[in-house]
Structure 1
Amino acid sequence: GRGKRNPVSIRWWIASAYLQGYRDFSRLDYTGGTVSLTYMDESGLLKFKFEEIVSKYVTQLGRLLALDLSPTVERMGISLDGMRKASVAQVVLDSAFPQDKVKKLALLLHPIILMYGTAGLALWVDSPDSMGIEVIPPWEILPIPIDVSGPHDVRGIIRARYVPVDWIKGLIITPGEKSKEYKNIDHVSMPTGNMPIDADAIGEGLMSMTSGGGGFFVKATTDDERTMAGRAGKKKDETHQDLTQLIEIWTETSDGYLAEYAVYAGMTKYVELYRHNHSESKYHMPIRIARDVITSGFWGRSYVDQLISLNREVEIAMSSMFQAVSDFDIYGFQLWPTSLGVPPEAERGQDGLKRIRYEPDYTVPDTKPENIFPTKMTAPHVDIVRVGLEMMDRIANQPTEMMSGSAPGRVDSSKGLGFLYEMSTIPLSSTAKNIADAVSGVYRAMLGIIRDQWTDRKVVSLTNLDDSLAGVILDAEAGTMSLSHNSIPHPDEVSLTIASEVPVSKEQQKYELKEALREGRITLEEFSFNVRKQGLDLPVGMEIEWQNYRRAMLNNILLFGDGETPGQAIGSPSDLHRVHLKVLDCFMARPEFYAASAGVREAFIKERGERLALLGNYLDQLEYPEDIAKMESEQYGSAEGVSDIF
């Protein structure tokens, strides 16, 4: 299988080394997947190094980092049950994979995607409270079957890596430390931190030893002592460690679920340590593959790989130009005819020019001094460099003007800038969609394993205060959700994706909000709320109104409960009832409100009436006290007039 991967791996090593400053790639072995690298060029020198490719790489990395990889759950259908399942799944995933892990995932994933074109994402679970997503480099991955025409033909994934033998013994799913299985595993003893010699030769040391994560661990036992078996015991020599290959295999069912997971270990002869059939459990595949540019075959083309050849040509051309400038300074001189009658003493000025006196042909008219330039300092040389840079811009698919902070023409409206920004992200859409599909796929696997491992005693903290989470039963004082009252749905019962599948421009959001405020489509209060919700850096004030807005959102969640039994809202006479009423009315206008029970709807109507009363207003069907008193006074006066007549 590695023989099929080795020709592709040559491009990985060159892309990574080129960004690090290597310029000579010799002895390319496409069979073994190795390449020799040096910092010098073919002549053994490096007169000039042009790093435009690094600038393009950093810019593209910044654009990808604008993607929000946070999990986003949407309901399937408009039923109350669908709303409840989506809300519970959102709270659970936000708790299991918080924002700090999301940002770390982006920083690890995007550079690998850009440099190598392919990256793996694997769910690892050590315990119900310890899980995450590991980014896997492409040289650890092989497809099943090995030779595929495209990603659609893949029916499984193989991952091979070097790990310490003691770490394998400490895993929950592997046999205990004293098992006889480990005697059959061949290994190599290496100084701590070093790799085996054959591994170092592959990719010139780019192979890495990992002892974190570990793929999809099934809860096979509750014996915690077994987990620590590989870490306890007699004190060993820490200057050396035994290394071996860990082979993990995931196979996929015809409908896209995990069929089987197996673990092998060994250098030349592989010993099976674990195997489990999951075909009846409907677990989603815990390992996903993200690609940059999808072509034929399993691995994608990388962004950096497409720019190397042009950067190399421009580098050579610019090196020649700069050498020409140096040559001009050294060899450039002026031919001065003696027929001008200027004495040599006058020609030796302090201007730094080099002059050569020559005897001209007197039959040639208009004899004058002539400048002699180096042959490389010509307009075509400059033009070819300019053409090369323009071609790099086209291949990079980056809006050069917008990336430098300007806009084409005189575009200064939010609509115009929004259109330009959207057009500029179209070339990035394919990569962004591939990343979104891979990350959301791992989120589905995470939700499925959480559903099995988290017990009813688990309490989840609420990290996002928004009434879109209506349908969960919360503890208002602790701000938590207990799974005893909120069952976790199956991943197939909700729609799961990431927060943004295209880069989001914060400045564009600012322009749109300011324009909406200027045109009167939103109020100043709504403007300040949206600035805070979108995380924009603008001084907006209205802190009291914002905190009342947040508590109004919380009250909607508390009052709605599970949609069957109403909860209890929290209020105070000092609240800004105007803000609470607006949030309340918006929620009561939603279709989900009418899917709730009659008791829940009545509780909302009662809450609205109490807020109106505290504000000094009353429901439409009720008369104001002043009007009632006036009517009673008029009726009393009329009654007295009638009595006087009689």
Structure 2
Amino acid sequence: MNPISINWYINHFYMRGLRNFTNINYGDGTLNASYLNEAGVLKFRYEGIIAKYQSQLGRLLSINMAPAVSRRGQSLDGLRKASTAQVVLDSMFPQEKVASLALNAFPMLLQYGTIGFGLWVEGPDSVGIETIPPWELIPIPIDVSAPTDVRGLIRVRYVPTDWVKSLTITPGAGKKVYKGMDDFKVPFGDLPADATSKFQGTASLTTVGGGFFVRSATSNSQVETQWAGRKNKKDKTQTDVTLLVEVWTETSDGYLAEYLILAGSYNRLRQLHRYDHSNERFHMPIRVARDVTVGGFYGRSFVDQLLPLNTEAEYSLSSLFQTISDYDLYGLMMWPASLGTPPDAHRGQDGVKRITYEPDYTTPELKPFNIEPARLTKPQIEAATLAISIMNDSANQPTEMLKGGAPGRVDSASGLGFLYETSNIPLSPTAKNVAVAVSGVYRAMLGISKAIWPASKVVSINNLDDSLAGIVLDSSTGEISLAQNAIPSPDEVNINIASEVPISKEQQKLELKEALDKGRITLDEYSFKVRELGLDSAVGNEVAWQNYRRSKLENLSLFGDGEKPGKVIVAERDMHLVHLSVLDAFMARPEFYAASQEVRDAFIEHYEEHKVGLGELPEEMLQPEDAAELEMQPPQGGGETPQY
């Protein structure tokens, strides 16, 4: 059992509004959670931690987890491999999957501090990355002092038995290995078996648990156990569930060594698959990311750090509000009878309780006074204020900037950019953890694509950019054929994510506007960059933008694989200045000079065609007026005089 599962359990239900945790057992990783306290009362809740959590989640969601491939070395072959790998990964894991992965991963990372990313493959056109909760992950060896000591991973979960039998790498249904394999029956759509009611109950979030939260075969549970030789009548209201254990071991240089699949129960597991990959240099298809790395396998979470302070602030504020309520209920005003106020005047509608008493007439300055409840309010206010202040410091968030303001009188793009970058420093370790984990899975994805995608596969280009130069592109369809663009090995390219730090759209807009105002970029360049970055700004000039896009596509088509040029056509309505500016930038790149002479000549010819479109003739050609004047001149070298 994993004692840290208690932290995961408390974090999960605390964020959902439960505050009463009892019967905590660190031995088996279980506890009871309830909305109500022991007296059956729903106490006051302070949700400051939710606001901090939402702000941190918003900052992390600004990280672009899309694959980004760069080449190794400066050769033309390296350029081809990087461009092909980028197109393949963009096709296998498009932007909508990237957004879904971020929404699944970051909330879990902030709550539990540890998550796994696992590559799953169901077919050539069905590939994805799964977010794995920490209670399904066990390191090899079981007790490590740091993440660098891990030499493999075990994933433990409960899954439908029929699903295990349907996997392509496991024996099919009816095989002898499944005879007598332990499984359990779980009602469709029912609560976890260990839950006694919807709002109060006991459930396990340990490493031996899983999505179904069922007990083991040895416990007395409502779950029906099916043993060897027992024939049960088919019940369509229940499904068979079994324990699935996956094991990945790692070589000394970080590649996949061996993969195993086992199923059954903790008392009896059956091996269904085992394969040695140590000679194939496959990248590990499962990776782990941590929020706060503090030693050991599991990391600490953002929520885990703020929960005690939120509890103290909640207790102080609850006591404060209770004191105010008690003052209304139990506060008394003592009224001297010697003041001569008639009793009728004491029965006002202000709700104040008054007691008339006979005072000591020798007391000087006799006047009414209040008897307050025993609890005080000032200490509670100070305690709550202190707890909230410490929580703000622990959260490491730029509070003023998150509210839309800026410290002091900073209003320049460079100044705000510096502040924004500085405020993201506390996010860097978490972002780097995620980047390393996700890019590792991208490497495994690129490696598996070589095995599941045939050479006849046709891939569409999602990103129309001449940074993909080196691929053989069909410009009419915007697709490439893998028969002409071989998928490289993951070790032949550099793979990362698009950005490891949050990106501020407003900051990008300010920087572009500042560059435009200072003349560092032209108006056309400004409008192109706004569209490329997806910024929300009205720029117009749609015709120039479409010419810019087409010129990028023409560069890809003409460059081809760098050996044999493609074909492009210059249209009469082209905005030649836009095309020439894109060509100038591309022809200045080192990749252009690494191409064959035939490709370079094709670019020069294409460049001259656009110059002709502007009315600039090649150097060897005369201007039309010069040619006409030359034709009117008499021939040189004598001859007969023409007769008129």
TM-score by length of 1: 0.90
Shift, 1:626, TM fit: 3.8
Alignment-derived partner of residue 15 in structure 1 = 11
Structure 1: distance between partners of 2:234 and 2:337: 90
User: Structure 1 pair 236/45, CA: closer, same or farther in 2 (3 Å)?
Assistant: closer
User: Structure 1 pair 581/370, CA: closer, same or farther in 2 (3 Å)?
Assistant: same
Shift, 1:617, TM fit: 2.0
Alignment-derived partner of residue 228 in structure 2 = none
Alignment-derived partner of residue 146 in structure 1 = 142
Decide which moves more: 532-541 or 617-626.
617-626
Shift, 1:77, TM fit: 1.4
Alignment-derived partner of residue 26 in structure 2 = 30
Alignment-derived partner of residue 81 in structure 2 = 85
User: Structure 1 pair 620/421, CA: closer, same or farther in 2 (3 Å)?
Assistant: farther
Alignment-derived partner of residue 511 in structure 1 = 510
* Kept after mapping to 2: 8 A contact 1:143/1:156: yes
Deviations 1:6-65, CA, capped at 9 Å, x for gaps: 201010000001011111111111111111111123554233111111121122111111
Shift, 1:478, TM fit: 1.2
Does 2:311 correspond to 1:312? yes
Alignment-derived partner of residue 332 in structure 1 = 331
Q: Which amino acid aligns with 1:69?
A: M
Decide which moves more: 441-450 or 127-136.
127-136
Structure 1: distance between partners of 2:637 and 2:393: 92
Alignment-derived partner of residue 179 in structure 2 = 183
Q: Which amino acid aligns with 1:70?
A: A
Structure 2: distance between partners of 1:134 and 1:58: 23
Residue 7 of structure 1: SS of its match in structure 2? coil
User: Structure 1 pair 356/67, CA: closer, same or farther in 2 (3 Å)?
Assistant: same
User: Structure 1 pair 165/424, CA: closer, same or farther in 2 (3 Å)?
Assistant: same
Residue 3 of structure 2: SS of its match in structure 1? helix
* Kept after mapping to 1: 8 A contact 2:49/2:307: yes
User: Structure 1 pair 628/370, CA: closer, same or farther in 2 (3 Å)?
Assistant: farther
Structure 1: distance between partners of 2:392 and 2:284: 38
Deviations 1:439-459, CA, capped at 9 Å, x for gaps: 110000000010122111000
Alignment-derived partner of residue 287 in structure 2 = 288
Question: Counterparts of 1:131-170 in structure 2 under 5 Å?
Answer: 131-170=127-166
Alignment-derived partner of residue 453 in structure 2 = 454
Q: Which amino acid aligns with 1:72?
A: A
Deviations 1:245-276, CA, capped at 9 Å, x for gaps: 11111000000000011111111211111111
Question: Counterparts of 1:69-468 in structure 2 under 5 Å?
Answer: 69-193=65-189, 197=193, 201-203=203-205, 207-209=210-212, 237-267=235-265, 268-338=267-337, 340=339, 342-346=341-345, 348-468=347-467
Alignment-derived partner of residue 225 in structure 2 = none
* Kept after mapping to 1: 8 A contact 2:156/2:210: no
User: Structure 1 pair 360/629, CA: closer, same or farther in 2 (3 Å)?
Assistant: farther
Q: Which amino acid aligns with 2:57?
A: L
Deviations 1:201-222, CA, capped at 9 Å, x for gaps: 4239973149xxxxxxxxxxxx
User: Structure 1 pair 81/362, CA: closer, same or farther in 2 (3 Å)?
Assistant: same
* Kept after mapping to 2: 8 A contact 1:188/1:196: no
Structure 1: distance between partners of 2:60 and 2:110: 9
Alignment-derived partner of residue 533 in structure 1 = 532
Q: Which runs of 5+ in 1 are unaligned?
A: 211-234
Shift, 1:168, TM fit: 1.2
Deviations 1:136-187, CA, capped at 9 Å, x for gaps: 1111111111011111000001111111221111111111223111114222
Q: Which amino acid aligns with 2:412?
A: S
Alignment-derived partner of residue 220 in structure 2 = none
User: Structure 1 pair 237/349, CA: closer, same or farther in 2 (3 Å)?
Assistant: closer
Structure 1: distance between partners of 2:16 and 2:586: 55
Does 2:592 correspond to 1:593? yes
Structure 2: distance between partners of 1:615 and 1:499: 38
User: Structure 1 pair 339/246, CA: closer, same or farther in 2 (3 Å)?
Assistant: same
Shift, 1:351, TM fit: 4.5
Alignment-derived partner of residue 216 in structure 2 = none
Q: Which amino acid aligns with 1:513?
A: L
Structure 2: distance between partners of 1:456 and 1:448: 15
User: Structure 1 pair 387/608, CA: closer, same or farther in 2 (3 Å)?
Assistant: same
Shift, 1:358, TM fit: 4.0
Q: Which amino acid aligns with 2:418?
A: F
User: Structure 1 pair 198/611, CA: closer, same or farther in 2 (3 Å)?
Assistant: same
Alignment-derived partner of residue 52 in structure 1 = 48
Alignment-derived partner of residue 568 in structure 1 = 567
Residue 387 of structure 2: SS of its match in structure 1? helix
Structure 2: distance between partners of 1:351 and 1:238: 66
Shift, 1:328, TM fit: 2.1
User: Structure 1 pair 197/578, CA: closer, same or farther in 2 (3 Å)?
Assistant: same
Shift, 1:543, TM fit: 1.0
* Kept after mapping to 2: 8 A contact 1:510/1:536: yes
Shift, 1:313, TM fit: 0.9
Q: Which amino acid aligns with 2:248?
A: W
User: Structure 1 pair 374/621, CA: closer, same or farther in 2 (3 Å)?
Assistant: farther
* Kept after mapping to 1: 8 A contact 2:118/2:131: yes
TM-score by length of 2: 0.90
Q: Which amino acid aligns with 1:291?
A: R
Q: Which amino acid aligns with 1:470?
A: A
Residue 14 of structure 1: SS of its match in structure 2? helix
Shift, 1:479, TM fit: 0.9
* Kept after mapping to 1: 8 A contact 2:431/2:501: yes
Decide which moves more: 271-280 or 519-528.
519-528
| Aligned residue-pair number | 612
* Kept after mapping to 2: 8 A contact 1:448/1:490: yes
Structure 1: distance between partners of 2:20 and 2:178: 44
Structure 2: distance between partners of 1:515 and 1:376: 58
Structure 2: distance between partners of 1:371 and 1:408: 46
Structure 1: distance between partners of 2:17 and 2:584: 61
Identity %: 58
Structure 2: distance between partners of 1:404 and 1:42: 39
Shift, 1:639, TM fit: 11
Structure 1: distance between partners of 2:622 and 2:374: 98
* Kept after mapping to 2: 8 A contact 1:459/1:482: yes
* Kept after mapping to 1: 8 A contact 2:331/2:372: yes
User: Structure 1 pair 281/355, CA: closer, same or farther in 2 (3 Å)?
Assistant: same
User: Structure 1 pair 437/20, CA: closer, same or farther in 2 (3 Å)?
Assistant: same
* Kept after mapping to 1: 8 A contact 2:570/2:610: no
Shift, 1:428, TM fit: 1.0
User: Structure 1 pair 361/639, CA: closer, same or farther in 2 (3 Å)?
Assistant: farther
Deviations 1:56-86, CA, capped at 9 Å, x for gaps: 1122111111111100001111111111110
Residue 495 of structure 2: SS of its match in structure 1? strand
Shift, 1:236, TM fit: 5.9
Q: Which runs of 5+ in 2 are unaligned?
A: 196-201, 214-232
* Kept after mapping to 2: 8 A contact 1:325/1:377: no
Does 2:549 correspond to 1:550? yes
Q: Which amino acid aligns with 2:423?
A: S
* Kept after mapping to 2: 8 A contact 1:471/1:557: yes
* Kept after mapping to 2: 8 A contact 1:13/1:206: no
Q: Which amino acid aligns with 1:138?
A: P
Residue 116 of structure 2: SS of its match in structure 1? strand
